Amino acid sequence: MKKGFHLGFILLLLCSLVLSACSNNTEAEGKNKDGKVVIDFQTFWGSETRRPVIEKIVDDFNKSQDEIEVKHTFVPWGDIWTKNTAAVAAGNPADVIVNDINTVAHRAENGQSEDLSQYIDEGIKDELYPNLWETVQYKDKFYGVPFTTDTRVLFYNKDAYKEAGLDPEQPPKTWKELEDHAKKLDVKKDGIYERIGFYPTWGSFGAGSWMANADDGKGFFEGNEMYINTPNKVEALKWVAGWHKRLGAKNVQAFQAEFGSGQTNPFISEKVAIWTDIASFYTQIRDTGKDMNFGIAPIPAFKEEGRNWNEGGGFVMEIPKGAKHPKEAATFIEYLASEKAQKYWAQKNYDNVANKKAAESVLKDFTGDEKLVYEQALKNLKDTRFHPAPIDYPDYASRVDPQLEAAITGKSTPEKALQKAENDVKKLKR
Amino acid sequence: MNGSVKFYQTMKFRRYVKNTIILSILILGSLVLLTPLWWMVSTSLKTPAEIAQHPPAFMPESFQFSNYIEAWQTGPFTRWGLNTLFISVIVTIGSVFVNSFIAYGFAKIRFKGRNTLFVIILATMLIPGFVTLVPQYMLFSKLGWVNTYLPLIVPAFLGSAFFIFLLRQFMLTIPKEFSEAAIMDGASHFKIWWHIMLPLTKPALITVGIFAFNGAWNDLLGPLLYLNDENLYTLQLGLQTFKGSVQVQWHYLMSMSVTILLPTVFLFFIFQRFFMNGANISSGTKG
């Protein structure tokens, strides 16, 4: 018995040795057997739909030249950045990584990403949407190249519009109209809502987004300047809180609980008639196969003369600090931002892409609803603002959000809540 | 027996009623606990369109067993499954033997500073894993262990505070006489541990084994951090391929979750008897 036990330990040691030996071989010098530089490219695009698209782009790049070989690795969504933080700290990161568009400056400030202006000509910005380019700049240099973006639009149920006696070709243009339409679209039976016309914070346009929409597109911060407690933001918050009061906390909560898991969507289930979401939400409607009769419109303006301000997100390509082959990585990033790669991505994934020509040329290939939605998304980009978290107050949302919640649920007044939010945030200054 | 005693007055009836009530409560309780599990199984058998339906149906319209096959085929899940099995088995072996050996020392050998050392070991349980995440990563990176299974396996051979505590408590209940008699016969500590302690602590060892296996099988963060090559990935990482930034493939996610859950469920049923014994020690109701 003792013999067997010792044998087991020896076997384990052997296994470990073999494993570590294997690893050393693959990492040697970062070159493959053909003498090409191997670039480790990490993304969270591992699904059946996205993986083939990114791998085709990688494959095209690998075939287009004979010095660099890109190896694509899937790392789970969200966790990819935890991994990156640890890897950068250890000096062992990937060569290219997809990262969040609204936090580029933070990583630049914290020395977690490489300054790309050393490797990529700034002229690349002319091919990309300017508001996206703004997000990657930090102290006159740029630390990422935009890849995709998203923009919020209003989806509305045309059948519900007809049923409520509204013109299905006339979506709401202002907040006032939105409210009028929503009230008509509500269906209430025995005190319980069977359908809710609209509720501002469901979907992907939160209270903060409505407040920015009311405040000429200004977020809670412009650079490091604070715009939390402004008259327009107070008014917007009052408006959001008004919906909560009108529908009743119980009804709002009941709906949220019902759809909270995200498996079913209240707009697609026709329980909510107007819905804010990113343009690619269209693919979810399409994939249910129900042939829903929906319309699309920009986010309504605060006042009649106002613009349809909305908020954008998206992803950029970055080189983490300490990457082994930044020069080659930069060459690949340039390829990812090129019209060819961007058009292919847009075509297959229905995302808004950063390259202007790619976005416009892919629109020509779309037809029907696909075209309708994409066209609106493109038009939207001119009114899309990005609100990157400010360098001095990276964690401001943790102070603002509870106050917004308190104001919406009636535990505080909008005036007091925003005053308190502003005071709390000031204390966070780094 | 007096003929006027009615059936409902008998002990038999009272026992019957008592059992019925207890049984109903237990059944009701199990149903509540089983609902999420059923939900998972039911979702795994629906079409995406049916999952999106409102109100959601408790039973799938038609059973889409093909989800299981299709989900498995979306990636190299066989490979990932074998990787996970490899890591889990080695981690389990390591956890069982090493921790038991350390626990033996704390339970049966008197030495200076034993209690202080034990308290220090227990104190490591208070440090949240996220605090040590980056330093640990840097350590393993310096050793050149990133992108190997070593960071996932080696720590299991270095002892875990919880398992040491659990096994030590169990060993304390074993009378000293056994080990003392062995010492009289000239046995070494290693022999005592191997020939006396291991067989006597079987329930606790199986508990540790199941915990360790479960932990390694379901670990996401470890493989996520240390593995860079998709060929080395584990099932938990594979599962994440169904969760995107915008959309989730619920039917695949659930069918693969059910599949991945099965080995641990089987393991639990096979060792259930021992597991219950062992679980009692950890909650302190025994010994």
Pick the CATH number of A33-150+313-385 from 3.40.190.10, 3.30.420.10, 3.10.450.50, 2.30.110.10: 3.40.190.10
Nearest to B144 among A5, A24, A89 (CB): A24
Same fold, A33-150+313-385 and A151-310+390-426: yes
Long-range contacts of B268-277 (CB under 8 A, 24+ apart): B268/B210, B271/B206, B271/B209, B271/B210, B274/B202, B274/B203, B274/B206, B274/B207, B275/B206, B275/B207, B275/B210, B277/B203, B277/B204, B277/B207
For B21, residues 6+ apart whose C-beta sits below 8 A from its C-beta are none
Residues of A in Cβ contact (< 8 Å) with B150: 16, 19-20
> pLDDT, tens digit, for every residue of A390-399?
989 988 999 9
- DSSP H/E element including A168: none
- Give the pLDDT of chain B (287 residues) as one tens digit per residue: 555 777 777 888 888 999 999 999 999 999 999 999 999 999 999 988 888 777 788 888 889 899 999 999 988 999 999 999 999 999 999 999 999 999 999 998 889 999 999 999 999 999 888 888 889 999 999 999 999 999 999 999 999 999 999 999 999 988 888 888 888 888 888 999 999 899 889 889 998 999 999 999 999 999 999 999 999 999 999 999 998 777 788 999 999 999 999 999 888 888 877 766 655 555 544 43
> pLDDT, tens digit, for every residue of A123-176?
999 999 999 999 999 999 999 999 999 999 999 999 999 999 999 999 999 999
Mutation choice for A interface testing from B139, B225, B234, B250 by most A CBs within 10 A? B225
CATH code for the domain defined by A151-310+390-426: 3.40.190.10
pLDDT, position A101: 94
Q: Is A74's pLDDT higher than 70?
A: yes
**3 state DSSP class of B69:** helix
Nearest to B52 among A12, A27, A268 (CB): A268
pLDDT, position A24: 46
Q: Is A213's pLDDT higher than 60?
A: yes
**3 state DSSP class of A128:** strand
| Model confidence, pTM | 0.84
Smallest CA–CA distance from A45 into chain B, residue: B244
**3 state DSSP class of A65:** coil
Distance from CA of B17 to the nearest CA of A (A): 38
Residue type, A378: L
B225: nearest Cα among A76, A57, A58 = A76
| Domain assignments of chain A as residue spans, ordered by start | 33-150+313-385, 151-310+390-426
> pLDDT, tens digit, for every residue of A232-264?
999 999 999 999 999 999 999 988 888 877 778
- DSSP H/E element including B264: helix B250-270
Q: Is A293's pLDDT higher than 90?
A: yes
| Domain assignments of chain B as residue spans, ordered by start | 7-66, 69-283
Give the CATH fold of the B69-283 domain.
Answer: MetI-like fold (1.10.3720)
Q: How far is CA A403 from CA A413, A426, A428, B17, B232, in A?
A: 9, 14, 15, 54, 46
Inspect the interface and report whether the beta carbons of A289 and B148 lie closer than 8 Å: no
A190 or A159, higher pLDDT: A159
Question: How many cross-chain Cβ pairs, A to B, lie less than 8 Å apart?
Answer: 128
Mutation choice for A interface testing from B35, B46, B147, B251 by most A CBs within 10 A? B147
Inspect the interface and report whether the beta carbons of A26 and B147 lie closer than 8 Å: yes
Smallest CA–CA distance from A16 into chain B, residue: B150
Distance separating alpha carbons of residues B87 and B216, to the nearest angstrom: 7
For B216, residues 6+ apart whose C-beta sits below 8 A from its C-beta are B84, B87, B88, B91, B92, B152, B156
Smallest CA–CA distance from B75 into chain A, residue: A48
CB atoms within 10 A of CB A253: 12
Length of chain A: 430
Query: Would you state the structure tokens that stand for residue A412, as one six-digit string?
Result: 């505080």
Nearest to B249 among A15, A47, A79 (CB): A47
Residues of A in Cβ contact (< 8 Å) with B187: none
Nearest to A86 among B134, B145, B250 (CB): B134
- DSSP H/E element including A69: strand A68-74
Q: Nearest 5°: phi and psi at A155? A: -100, 135
Nearest to A40 among B54, B94, B228 (CB): B228
Nearest to A44 among B146, B150, B245 (CB): B245
> pLDDT, tens digit, for every residue of A359-414?
999 999 999 999 999 999 999 999 999 999 898 998 899 999 999 999 999 999 99
Contact between A187 and A194 (Cβ < 8 Å):
yes
Q: Is A429's pLDDT higher than 60?
A: yes
Distance from CA of B59 to the nearest CA of A (A): 15
Q: What is the ipTM of this complex?
A: 0.80
Inspect the interface and report whether the beta carbons of A288 and B48 lie closer than 8 Å: yes
Contact between A313 and A32 (Cβ < 8 Å):
no
Distance separating alpha carbons of residues A403 and A409, to the nearest angstrom: 10
Inspect the interface and report whether the beta carbons of A264 and B56 lie closer than 8 Å: yes
pLDDT, position A404: 96
